[in-house]
Structure 1
Amino acid sequence: MANLKEIRNRIASVSSTMQITSAMKMVSAAKLKKAQDAITAMRPYSQKLTELLQNLSATMDGDTGGAFAEQRPVNKVLIVAITSNRGLCGAFNSNIIKQVKTLEATYAGKQVSILSIGKKGNDVLGKTCTITDNKSAVYDDLTFENVAVIAQQLMDEFAAGEYDKIELVYNHFKNAATQLVLTEQFLPLVPAATEAVDNSSVDYIFEPSKEEIIEQLIPLSLKTQLYKAIRDSFASEHGARMTAMHKATDNATDLRNQLKLTYNKARQASITNEILEIVGGAEALNN
């Protein structure tokens, strides 16, 4: 059994760790509220924009997506892995890394590259995969304008034929305790639903033309899709960290209680031994 000094030092160490994890939990909870409000407010706009684009596309003949809807034989694939810059968030990053490697295996025999958004994914995937670029700095100022620059770069590379397919891998925020790993096709554009669109009861007047509206909506829709994915991941990160730190605090509390119990038992045994030695010494003097 460890001596009393070692147990006291261990208790102090666990108590210090518990204070840190508790503080990190509260910080993540505060940041989660702001991130959750942002992604919740953005989702209806993103969904309506996508719905509007698909409805317009469904009423037109021919290829309305231009270069962004071009379906080519898939030989060069780019996977956009969205992770975090910091750790201590449970399996948040490892789930993305695992999904990226699984997705890469499905494209066996093809040229697969990875664009990393997040230092954690870049550090791990860079050891075994081909990383074309690292856009981790976007988290320093997460705005639509900064994300739009990345989206525009992806659109330009696809239009230039550098990649035949681009996919996003990120954590979808469901609630503070649940994050779902999603894989979304970014480019080429996912074809609109083939269901018949009945516009016989309503006659719309488009200004400018329907084609020009779609040409403007497509880049905006793609930029919004990437921004929503990063915002989802950002909210999921704080939710995962809050949950992980909550569990760590509970575990540290249990460990500290066990150490205190062990310390009290050892202290009681030490006192008992001292009393026995005193009594034995007194008896020896009396005899």
Structure 2
Amino acid sequence: MYGTRAALPQSEPDPYNTKTMAGQLKEVRNRIKSVQSTQQITKAMKMVSAAKLRRAQDAITQMRPYAQKLQEMLSNIISNIEGGMNLKLAEERPVEKVLLIVITSDRGLCGGYNANIVKLAKTTVAQKYADQFKKGKVTIWNIGKKGWESLTKAGYQTDAAFKDIYLNLSFEQVQAAAQAAMKAFENREFDAVEIVYSEFKNAATQRFVAEQFLPIPKAAGKPGGKKADFIFEPEKEQLIAELMPKILNTQLYKAVLDGNASEHGARMTAMDKASDNANELLKNLKISYNRARQAAITTELTEIVSGAAALQG
């Protein structure tokens, strides 16, 4: 018997609680290892997203001025046609059946990116198409799995025909979706088509928008302003018939590229914040570990002193 601990009956609790302290140290060590492993993953994901973002940002930066100019030109042409032309894609009629093309991502871990787009889609339906929704005449085409999963679960009428576009993103894939929407509008399956997506600004900023796709919106002219003067070559009817579908294909492709760049930017920002949070958590855990270790050392010293005092006594 060299100390007071050894003299205690086995049925009595250990006043120094050394087993509990050892368990606390082990638990904190395990948490530190777990956070370090998670931090390695978040840093790797940030690097991957940064590399993908550069390519996606280049693509949308090159596409946006071209697409915007085409859209502006088309809107001006539609606004300045006097009549006598049957422009099915610009036909405005009472809105009974609505199509929303909602562009999200296939994967998560990108902050509130997908949640904000889904929220905007729900808000657009609630504010603009509540009556149509009650009648079951609002359909949602999803580009991206996350939006399809959320909106289907929420009870919306969804279509998954184009949700896997991001698996093989190309102009041809997006063109197929645009042409399907145009054909459905011409066949009066829908009276209005809107695109809900995220417009890329920079890695940390996206603007979530609901944009009219069909009927083709007219340019907002200034009161008393002059009409744009266009010279058509070849004939007006032939030119517009070929021009409208091509510009609309480009518009949807631009929206998908915007969404692609926004996703990678949002994921890079989210993983950067997660890595910073992991650093802060590691700092706190190491402080807790050092305190527990100091308490264990103090307990051991107390045992030694108590044992020495008992022997001297």
Normalising by the smaller structure, the TM-score range is over 0.9
Contact 2:80 2:228 in 1 (8 A): no
CA contact (8 A) 1:148 1:227 kept: yes
Aligned-partner Cα distance in 1 for 2:228–2:163? 45
Residue aligning to 2:227: 197
For residue 188 of structure 1, what is the aligned residue in structure 2? 215
TM-score with structure 2 length normalisation?
0.86
Matched, 1:232 2:253: no
Match of 1:33 in 2: 54
Question: Which of 132, 156, 163 does residue 136 from structure 1 map onto?
Answer: 163
| Matched AA of 2:143 | I
8 Å Cα contact 1:22/1:249 also seen in 2:
yes
Q: Percent identity?
A: 55
Structure 2 residue 313 is matched with structure 1 residue 284: no
1:222-261 correspondence runs (5 A): 222-261=248-287
Deviates more, 1:127-136 or 1:93-102: 127-136
The 1:178–1:161 alpha-carbon spacing in structure 2 relative to 1, beyond 3 Å, is same
**Aligned partners of 2:76, 2:106: CA distance in 1, in Å?**
38
Residue 180 (structure 2) pairs with residue 159 (structure 1): no
What are the residue-to-residue correspondences of 1:34-113 with 2, within 5 Å? Answer: 34-62=55-83, 64=85, 66-106=87-127, 107-110=129-132, 111-113=137-139
Partner of 1:17: 38
Which runs of 5 or more residues in structure 2 are unaligned? 1-20
2:148 aligns to what?
122
- Letter of the aligned partner of 1:8 in structure 2? R
Q: How many residues align?
A: 283
Contact 2:75 2:217 in 1 (8 A): no
- Check conservation: 1:83, 1:96, Cα contact below 8 A: yes
TM-score between the two structures when normalised by the length of structure 1: 0.94
Out of 288, 291, 297, which is 1:265 matched to? 291
Q: Is the 8 Å Cα contact of residues 78 and 90 (structure 2) preserved in structure 1? A: no
Superposition deviation, residue 5 in structure 1: 0.4
Offset at residue 198 of structure 1 (A): 5.5
Q: Matched residue of 1:154: which SS?
A: helix
Q: Which amino acid aligns with 1:40?
A: T
Q: Distance in 2 between matches of 1:215 and 1:270?
A: 82
Contact 1:169 1:184 in 2 (8 A): yes
Q: Is the 8 A contact 2:75 2:216 kept in 1?
A: no
- Measured on the aligned residues, the alpha-carbon RMSD in Å equals 1.6
- Judged with a 3 Å threshold, the aligned counterparts in structure 2 of structure 1 residues 157 and 24 are, in CA distance, closer, same or farther, namely same
Q: Deviations 1:197-248 (Å, cap 9, x if unpaired)?
A: 364xxx94x4311322221110011101100001001100001001111111
Q: Deviations over 1:94-146 (max 9, x none)?
A: 01111111111121221211111111111110021111334122101111111
Gaps of 5+ in 1: none
